[in-house]
Amino acid sequence: MATQISAEISESTRELLDDYARNTGMKKGFLIEQAVLDYIRALDQLPADILVPAKIIVTPDAATKIVKHITRPPKPTRQLRRLMANED
């Protein structure tokens, strides 16, 4: 027995879904169910400690530090250079 759910999605996602359903002739419900199942199955294959949340909330101070590290990254350490060179 099927169950109906409701979810809010962005307009751009809705357009992608509508276009894909129209172009392939697939029902949107089928596409959504397959996408959710594939996503959950993929997550089940990964160790929980390596999953990164899709949305990370940071404080203004942390955001400033992140921007600084992106725009002016620190010089690589000797250990990082060795790692990137694939040395032991």
Q: By C-alpha distance, which of 29, 33, 31 is closest to 20?
A: 31
Distance CA 59, CA 36 (A): 31
Tell me which residue of 5, 58, 55 sits closest to 28, measured CA to CA.
5
Q: What percent of the chain has pLDDT over 70?
A: 98
Q: Is the pLDDT of residue 41 over 80?
A: yes
Within 10 angstroms of residue 33's Cβ, the number of other Cβ atoms is: 13
0.75 exceeded by pTM = no
